[in-house]
Amino acid sequence: MTTQSILDDFEHELERQRKSPITRRGYLADLRDYARWVRATYSEEFDPRDITADDVTTYASYLTTVRKAKPATANRKLAALSTFCRWAVQAKILRSDPTRGVQLKKQVKNAPKALSRSDLNRLVRKAKQSSNALHLAVILTLVNTGLRVGELIALDRSDVEINARSGQIVVRQGKGSKYREVPLNAEARGAIAAYLDVRPQPDRVTDRLFLGQRGEPLTSSGVWRMLDKYARQARLTEVSPHVLRHTFATLLLRESKVDLGTGADLLGHENVSTTMRYTRSTDADRRAAVEIYTDQ
């Protein structure tokens, strides 16, 4: 097997696992970065079958001491390499996982990645300009409910209740099989109602709420591709269902200032300590905090 054929097989495995296009590109970009380091360090071409534990340890040190990579960046690159190596062991390309035991770098825990209000508005604006009722309904549902992508695609038509002044979504199988009811605001209700007016006939017996053009139930990879399309149009680099969930939670707790118990209920968290992540400071918060001294 050639190096390229091994990498192609790895990419096919990521597709089989329904990893998003953004995730697949990220893994392969990080692997190419490792390959460049191998060529620069050993003056030989990268061969996945030659990866050793010493290589991984040296590469980890290089990332933080020479490249001056932030812990999050170094950890991401090491995680991509680890994912590849675990697959390579299963595929009989490597005898053992050379990344096992490599310590990730400690990092300051920020609030989870979320879109700013202006970035969110730009993304939604692009979806509205498309005039695609399904795409707009999916995006506005994610933005206004914080549903996980698995919860979204599992929704049945009967799980949605829309009235003139109120509405809700019933999540019957959330994380940990937890049941919850999530209210729908006017924006989400309007988008879902408009989609239902043009919803295609199912291609088989199914009550799934969100269907593709040919009547097949929407998949998680379909949602990822949808978001990738509008993210590119809005000139955004990091948009995923989970980023929209983080955005919903951040706006809920930091701008709307709801209490942690309500936030946990809406997000389907078993423990409010999970919800508290969204109250952590960001880099921007810390920069703004110290700027007060420059104005005096």
Whether 148 is catalytic: yes
Rounded Cα distance, 42 and 157, in Å: 58
Among the listed residues 39, 125, 175, 235, the single catalytic one is 175
Domains of the chain: 3-90 (1.10.150), 117-283 (1.10.443.10)
Q: Would residue 245 show up in a list of annotated catalytic residues for this protein?
A: yes
Q: Is 230 a catalytic residue?
A: no
Q: What is the pLDDT along the chain (296 residues), one digit of tens a residue?
A: 788 889 889 999 998 888 878 788 889 999 999 999 999 999 999 998 999 999 999 999 999 889 888 888 888 899 889 999 999 999 999 999 998 877 766 655 555 578 889 999 999 999 999 989 999 999 999 999 989 898 999 999 999 999 888 899 988 866 656 788 888 999 999 999 999 999 988 867 788 999 988 889 999 889 999 999 999 999 998 899 989 988 888 887 776 666 767 767 777 766 565 666 655 555 555 455 445 555 44
Model pTM?
0.58
* Given 77, 135, 148, 246, the catalytic residue: 148
Q: Which residue out of 242, 254, 277, 280 is catalytically annotated?
A: 242
- Is 157 annotated as catalytic? no
Active site residue 175: yes
Catalytic residue among 24, 126, 189, 269: 269
How confident is the model at residue 271, as a pLDDT?
A: 59
Asked whether 144 and 184 are in contact (CB, 8 A), the reply is yes
